[in-house]
Amino acid sequence: MDQHNHQHAESPEMLSLMGYSLARESGQYQKGIELCLKAITMNPHSSDNYLHLGRIYLLARKKELAIKAFRKGLRVRKDTRIIDELKSMGIRQSPPFASLPRNHVLNRFTGRILNALRLR
């Protein structure tokens, strides 16, 4: 393998994708998680890395860790793939005012406005 190909194989994007592929195709969840965490360390500003990590956690039946990974990815970028993953899990966004109950009129009204403005 020449220097250019080796650098490409060690890119955060490739590590993350390889980790997800290993977990999905051969059930090597721990190795996949390690590769994704390395990718995140190398590039914490890529939502793809968090998407792949969250998907591995789902495969490994670690739902809480998957949710945390997905939410961190959303803080990096509003990635529709991550939003779709959370929706398919039945996870809703946090209410605008976490100190109030979800069904409080202020949370409901503010949530509608934020959704209409596409800020959520």
* 77 and 30 belong to one structural domain: yes
* 79 and 99 belong to one structural domain: no
* 35 and 62 belong to one structural domain: yes
- pLDDT at residue 1, as a whole number: 47
* 34 and 82 belong to one structural domain: yes
Mean pLDDT per 10-residue segment, the chain (120 residues) = 55 95 97 97 96 98 95 94 91 82 90 84
Q: What is the number of structural domains in the chain?
A: 2
- pLDDT at residue 8, as a whole number: 56
Residue 66 is encoded by which pair of tokens? 């998957």
One-letter-per-residue 3-state SS of 8-26: HHCCHHHHHHHHHHHHHHH
* 68 and 116 belong to one structural domain: no
Domain housing 49: 3-89
Element holding 59 (H helix, E strand):
helix 47-59
* 9 and 33 belong to one structural domain: yes
* 105 and 85 belong to one structural domain: no
Give yes or no for a contact between 102 and 95, defined as CB atoms under 8 angstroms apart.
Answer: yes
DSSP 104: S
Give yes or no for a contact between 48 and 75, defined as CB atoms under 8 angstroms apart.
Answer: no
The pTM is what?
Answer: 0.72
Residue 99 is encoded by which pair of tokens? 């100190």
Q: Which of 91, 32, 43, 44 is nearest to 67 (CA)?
A: 91
- pLDDT at residue 33, as a whole number: 98
- Which CATH number is 68's domain given? 1.25.40.10
* 48 and 76 belong to one structural domain: yes
* 48 and 16 belong to one structural domain: yes
